[in-house]
Amino acid sequence: MMNRERTGSVSRFIGKRLNKNIVGPTGVLYLPQDTVLNERHLALLLEAGIRITDADVYESVPVTVIIREAAEEWKSIFEAAKNADRIIARNITEHVVPLLLELVSNYDLHTVLDGLYEIDDYTYRHSVAVAALSTLIGKWLGFPSARLRVLTAAALLHDIGKTKIPSSILLKAGRLTPEEYEIVKKHTVFGYEMIRNADGLSELHAQVALQHHERLDGSGYPNRLTEETFLESRIVAVADVFHAMLSKRPYKEASPFFQVMKEMYSGAFGAFDPVVVTKFTQRAMEALIGNDVLLSNGQTGTIVRIDAHNPWKPLILLNRRFVNLANHPSLDIKDI
């Protein structure tokens, strides 16, 4: 357990970031590393008798500053690909990738997701989001730095083929017709060809653009591949679907985070790579520790601990008492 602070106000820690996991005396994870502290987090630690010190936190650049800079860089790259039919790989590898690596090194999943709403245009927000989420997953899976950089760039480029799709289809307010959907599906092949012809990008970058809509059960496109896809492609597939489900579009409402997590996990042994989805959902749920949740009985509690074997039934602090949802079959989390 961390050293306890004897004096001083804890309010000064609000907005600062944890530089390590906060673990209680029994080994319970209270808050994961990189959590940006708020009043709820501090109240949770005080309730558990854990007090943090200045050595446990650090200052960092605001998440919105990094995200806006990455989005602006990506917008210029995307527009150049659309208007001049060329991908400026150097700007990706030297400018955007370092920003995204800085982002995932300094911020937890939910802070990143909140910061992404600063980007108004869905096209750019989605690409940056998928790149950030893919990088987080790669980091959690233990990718070495060189492989992580390739994954980040490939994830950022996954939809670059949409520069070849008519705007009338991409920006359509309603649902696509079957014919329009077939045109959109071609963005995977277009992206593959564009990346292969770009200097400074590899075959793996191109394959991720081609394969990110493939599914392990053979239901994907363009080639209905199953296990023949790259791990990087399977990571981007999970990040792509996850962010799309979380996002509000003209033809659909955004799905609640907890619902998206459960639906993604239900596909872990079908459409998606089970190792990728399991790692992603486990770490995403751990990052919810300290957050308030609405329960199915209408009450509001705070997540205290996540069970790795049953992440949907965490330990909740409810009305100053601990409630293990695993012991209450009829009680579930309705929303975060």
Is the full-model pTM beyond 0.95? no
Residue 195: name the closest of 150, 144, 239 by CA.
Answer: 150
In the structure, what pLDDT confidence band is assigned to residue 268 with cuts at 50, 70 and 90?
low
Question: Which range is least confidently modeled, 7-11, 184-188, 282-286?
Answer: 7-11
pLDDT in tens, 97-143: 999 999 998 888 888 988 888 787 888 999 999 999 999 999 999 99
In the structure, what pLDDT confidence band is assigned to residue 28 with cuts at 50, 70 and 90?
confident
Does 222 sit behind a cis peptide bond, omega within 30 degrees of 0 on the bond before it?
Answer: yes
d(CA 169, CA 277): 31
Q: What is the per-residue pLDDT for 27?
A: 76
Q: What is the per-residue pLDDT for 9?
A: 61
In the structure, what pLDDT confidence band is assigned to residue 269 with cuts at 50, 70 and 90?
low
pLDDT in tens, 277-335: 989 988 888 888 888 889 989 999 999 888 877 888 889 988 889 999 999 988 888 87
- For helices 231-246 and 122-140, what crossing angle results, to 10°? 130
Question: Which range is least confidently modeled, 9-18, 198-207, 308-317?
Answer: 9-18
Task: Indicate whether 192 pLDDT > 70.
Answer: yes
> Pick the residue with more confidence: 224 or 118?
224
d(CA 55, CA 206): 44
Task: Indicate whether 260 pLDDT > 90.
Answer: no
The mean pLDDT value for 219-245 works out to 94
Please, which residues have CB within 8 angstroms of residue 216's CB and are 6 or more apart in sequence?
Answer: 226, 227, 229, 234, 270, 271, 272, 273
Residue 127: name the closest of 67, 180, 200, 181 by CA.
Answer: 67
> Pick the residue with more confidence: 64 or 207?
207
Residue 10: name the closest of 35, 37, 48, 28 by CA.
Answer: 37
In the structure, what pLDDT confidence band is assigned to residue 1 with cuts at 50, 70 and 90?
very low
3-state SS string for the chain: CCCCCCCCCHHHHCCCEECCCEECCCCCEEECCCCECCHHHHHHHHHCCCCCCHHHEECCCCHHHHHHHHHHHHHHHHHHHHHHCCCCHHHHHHHHHHHHHHHHHHCCHHHHHHHHCCCCCHHHHHHHHHHHHHHHHHHHCCCCHHHHHHHHHHHHCCCHHHHHCCHHHHCCCCCCCHHHHHHHHCHHHHHHHHHHCCCCCCHHHHHHHHHCCCCCCCCCCCCCCCCCCCHHHHHHHHHHHHHHHHCCECCECCCCHHHHHHHHHHCCCCCCCHHHHHHHHHHHHHCCCCCEEEECCCCEEEEEECCCCCCCCCEEEECCEEEEHHHCCCCCEEEC
Sign of CA dihedral 127, 69, 122, 117: positive
